[in-house]
Amino acid sequence: MTRPTKHPRARAPHGTTGAPAPDGSPSTDTYISRHRPRRSRPASSPGNPFDDDPPPPTTPVAIALPRPVPPPADAVASPRFIPGFDPKILFLPPRIGNITPGFLSVDMPRMNTAVKRGELSSEALATAITDRLNRADLNAIARTIGRMRLADAYYVHGALSMIAASIVHHVRVETGDRETSDGLALIPGLEQTLLVCARITKLPPRDCAFKTWLIGGPWTFTGSEGEVRFGRAVRDAEAILGEAVDLLADLREGRVPLRSAAGAIEYAADRVAAYRKVQADLSGRPFGKEFLAMRNYLAPYQVGGKRWEGSNATYTRAWTEIDLATGLLGRPFYRIVRMRAAFMPPWDCERLLRSLEQPSLCDLIADALGMCRTQFAAASDEELRALSSTASPALQPALRAAARLAWEVAKLAAVHMGAIVKNLTKPAQALTEEERGALVTPVDSGVGGNHLNNTQMLMTQRITRPMAKWGKAQETAK
């Protein structure tokens, strides 16, 4: 009896297991399995080698396959801080009328600069935008944004927020009215669409730190190197300081005792020290007038009858939670935390509010040393060192690590204040009267109106806390 021939599709030059060829190329069987529907069999079944029947027709299913695409350019957003979103997956930006990523990353900054120089009017800028984004486009966005995936909704909201802040700023400069929001009316339907986007994304209707910097969109106001570096520093803060607070989460939530957390606290201190180098770079290589130019677009304005602050780099979860985790600022800082949380995405807001209820590192050390928490906050660093010397040997490494972390956080605050002076205070002093008059955001306060003296006060509090002094003494003694 003649043995039937196997089906041709069962043959492959390099085996049927999907192993690559010796030269590294995919095997024939791998290519067929990816590009031609095949009859499915259980993995434990060898199948019938005599079956010559063609496979039944199947409906092709769209699956994600690696493709020979060029690396994603800056024009492709990468929302790295959206839970559950894999930043390695390349996605195409959603449609926003005829607004392309190139328009946001190149054309808008150029037109913003042209308006600033008097080469283009705010009305001409609005016309250039509405040629690509008319009222029908905005209405379509308002109708569909609720059905978009989360990353796309943030991208659309971030792009519209950047456009809105730009046109509002230019109208303010042209009219001399530093409080007007009339620029929104130059793009019909924009204000209403921003309000719809805010209901879907649970974020402020205008730009905020999450949309402006954290999701990594292509937009910039000025296109300057300084603005790009600043955005990168904000993302680094969320990533690096985020690691530090995540390391302390088990300790603060009671899953790990203090005596067993020395390694986690030490590594958290390492991460804070790593981010201090990023801030030191901002201070050592200041942006000059580029930083002042960017800040002009971040001044507060009204959307839907309510005044909203602009993007603030400290209104991010990790930057705020590191102070809650260490406990150097105490309960008066809680009011600031609640105010910042309103500008963050829901998951960051919820985490910060939970963090407010958890004990800080200083609280846990006070409990371990048998001290009242209020008494601990008022103790001197000499008293803390004396008390720690009487603690059990098992607790000593964690106490030393906590003191080091407190000092690293204090040093980061000092370096951050130095970066503010180098990039804001000193460049403002070198401005001419005409340049100073063109500033929309005051140079002696943050973009939300908080005076820099308050920032200085918080820095001083961190440095003068007993835990930070204890850490400083440890570092000096080495």
What tens digit of pLDDT does each residue of 69-91 get? 333 333 333 444 555 555 444 45
Q: Where are the domains of the chain?
A: 101-214, 225-441+450-477
Q: What kind of architecture, by CATH, is found in domain 101-214?
A: Up-down Bundle (1.20)
What digits encode the pLDDT tens for the residues 385-424? 888 888 899 999 999 999 999 999 999 999 999 999 999 8
Residue 110's pLDDT band, with cuts at 50, 70 and 90, is: very high
Q: 3-class SS at 451?
A: strand
- d(CA 398, CA 361) in angstroms, rounded, equals 10
Intrachain domains 101-214 and 225-441+450-477 with the same fold: yes
- d(CA 446, CA 452) in angstroms, rounded, equals 7
pLDDT of residue 430: 83
Q: At which residue do the structure tokens 């003649």 appear? A: 2
Q: Give yes or no for residue 54 having a pLDDT over 50.
A: no
Q: Give the global pTM.
A: 0.79
b or e along 400-414 (b: 16 or more beta carbons within 10 Å of the residue's beta carbon)?
bbbbbbbbbbbbbbe
pLDDT of residue 211: 96
Q: Are 251 and 258 in contact (CB under 8 A)?
A: yes
| Domain 225-441+450-477 CATH (choose: 3.40.50.360, 1.10.565.10, 3.40.47.10, 1.20.58.480) | 1.20.58.480
- d(CA 217, CA 159) in angstroms, rounded, equals 8
Specify the long-range contacts of residues 96-99, CB closer than 8 Å, at least 24 apart: 96/133, 96/137, 96/141, 96/156, 96/159, 96/160, 97/132, 97/133, 97/134, 97/137, 97/138, 97/141, 98/131, 98/132, 98/133, 98/137, 99/129, 99/132, 99/133, 99/159, 99/163
Q: 3-class SS at 174?
A: helix
What digits encode the pLDDT tens for the residues 335-388? 999 999 999 999 999 999 999 999 999 999 999 988 888 888 888 888 888 888
Residue 30's pLDDT band, with cuts at 50, 70 and 90, is: very low
- d(CA 118, CA 202) in angstroms, rounded, equals 37
What are the beta bridge partners of residue 376? Answer: none
Q: Return the percentage of the chain with pLDDT > 90, whole number.
A: 62
Cβ-based burial of 184 (10 A; exposed 0-12, middle 13-18, buried ≥19): buried
Identity at 65, one-letter amino acid code: L
Cβ-based burial of 143 (10 A; exposed 0-12, middle 13-18, buried ≥19): exposed
Best-predicted range by mean pLDDT among 17-31, 54-68, 298-312?
298-312
Q: Quote the strand ranges of 206-350, DSSP E.
A: 301-303, 306-308
Q: Are 104 and 155 in contact (CB under 8 A)?
A: no
pLDDT of residue 215: 92
Q: Give yes or no for residue 92 having a pLDDT over 70.
A: no
b or e along 257-292 (b: 16 or more beta carbons within 10 Å of the residue's beta carbon)?
ebbebbebbbbbbbbbbebbebbbebbeebbebbbb
Helices 346-357 and 317-326, axial angle in degrees (round to 10): 10
Q: Give yes or no for residue 433 having a pLDDT over 60.
A: yes
**Of 16, 56, 19, 60, nearest in space to 36 by CA:** 60
